[in-house]
Amino acid sequence: MPDTQEFRDEYARLSELTERGLAEVFPTTEGDPAARVIEAARYSLLAGGKRIRPVLALSVAQMLGCPLGEALPYACAVEMIHTYSLVHDDLPCMDDDDLRRGRPTCHRIYGEGMAVLAGDALLNLAFETLSAAALDTAKGTRSIPGGVEGALTAMKEIADAAGHRGMIGGQAMDIAGEGLGMTNERLVEMHRRKTGALLRAPALAAARLSGAAPGVLDAVDRFASALGLAFQIKDDILDVTAEAGNLGKTPGKDAEAGKTTFVTAHGLPAATEMLAEESRRAVGALEELDSLGYDVEFLKDLVRYQLERGR
């Protein structure tokens, strides 16, 4: 982590804002006969985690002048989508994982059927949240620089990033491609969809909410796309270098499953160099935004933080 106190404080502030937002999305379960699925969804959603996706959404919104409170529902929705994908990914019929964010996975506690439903509930809740926010904007009770078109464009781009063209498509490639070996082109495409799309979406969504001009949108897009790829390369590196206690999930699983990763495809030194290259690309896009007068310090630190993170 970049050792500036400002960065650490700001990251903490934005991730705590997210935690509070996420804690409020579920109603009280008292007397609700469907309480168990809500508990299962809440168990996974409030298990901590880095919250890098909502922090990205909030920090880009802040940079571009969209009030944080207005961007928060979008930030939370992306984190719900990310969490549902983990819950389903951990199922025995998928990656079959017992450990996630340092705790037993959802299905280990609540059973497989309930974990399927909890994941479904989180995905659905993301769109309940997005619809409610956009409706408030249409009614004028939630005011964002990008207006109702910005709100709906953000929602549509988040949906596209999460769907078969994005994350779900990447997961499908992952399942279909296990153990078969993959060309580098295919590997990059898989990760662009599986991980990259849902890291790019919160940054882009924040730009839409902010009513950003095309040139700004484009720079945010290049920044977030490079950061997303760097994030996945870093994950692949951590899968072979980190310890379980530190990682919060089972390390070495990808290698064991015979999956193609940036490390198995290129080796650790080349993967490390690719990570540095994508991080430089991300910083380059930020420098363009800097030259347009935006305050990019936190996002620059975020790139370095992700480059150096130990979990």
Contact residues for its own copies (CB under 8 A)? 26-27, 32-34, 36-38, 41, 84-85, 88, 91, 93-94, 111-114, 116-117, 119-121, 123-125, 127-128, 130-132, 134-135, 138-139, 148-149, 152-153, 155-156, 159-160, 162-165, 168-173, 175-177, 186, 189-190, 193
For its own copies, the closer CB: 72 or 168: 168
CB 132 within 8 A of CB 73: yes
For its own copies, the closer CB: 20 or 156: 156
Helical (H) or strand (E) element with 103: strand 103-104
User: Residue 152 Cβ, how far from its own copies at the closest point, in Å?
Assistant: 4
Under DSSP, the state recorded for 192 is: I
In the block, residue with structure tokens 């999305």: 25
For its own copies, the closer CB: 167 or 220: 167
For its own copies, the closer CB: 14 or 45: 45
User: Residue 85 Cβ, how far from its own copies at the closest point, in Å?
Assistant: 8
For its own copies, the closer CB: 189 or 277: 189
For its own copies, the closer CB: 29 or 241: 29
Under DSSP, the state recorded for 26 is: S
Rounded to a whole number, what is the largest CA-CA distance in the chain? 56
User: Residue 43 Cβ, how far from its own copies at the closest point, in Å?
Assistant: 14
User: Residue 234 Cβ, how far from its own copies at the closest point, in Å?
Assistant: 23
User: Residue 3 Cβ, how far from its own copies at the closest point, in Å?
Assistant: 40
User: Residue 10 Cβ, how far from its own copies at the closest point, in Å?
Assistant: 31
User: Residue 145 Cβ, how far from its own copies at the closest point, in Å?
Assistant: 15
Gap between the Cα atoms of 311 and 194, Å rounded: 19
DSSP per-residue string spanning 153-188:
HHHHHHHHHHSTTTHHHHHHHHHHHTTT---HHHHH
Q: What is the CA radius of gyration of the chain?
A: 19
For residue 194, give the nearest of 244, 235, 154 by alpha carbon: 235
For residue 204, give the nearest of 142, 153, 129 by alpha carbon: 153
Gap between the Cα atoms of 237 and 106, Å rounded: 25
CB 18 within 8 A of CB 72: yes
For its own copies, the closer CB: 98 or 273: 98
In 143-217 the beta strands, taken as DSSP E runs, fall at none
Q: What is the dihedral of CA 64, 65, 70, 73, to 10 degrees?
A: 20
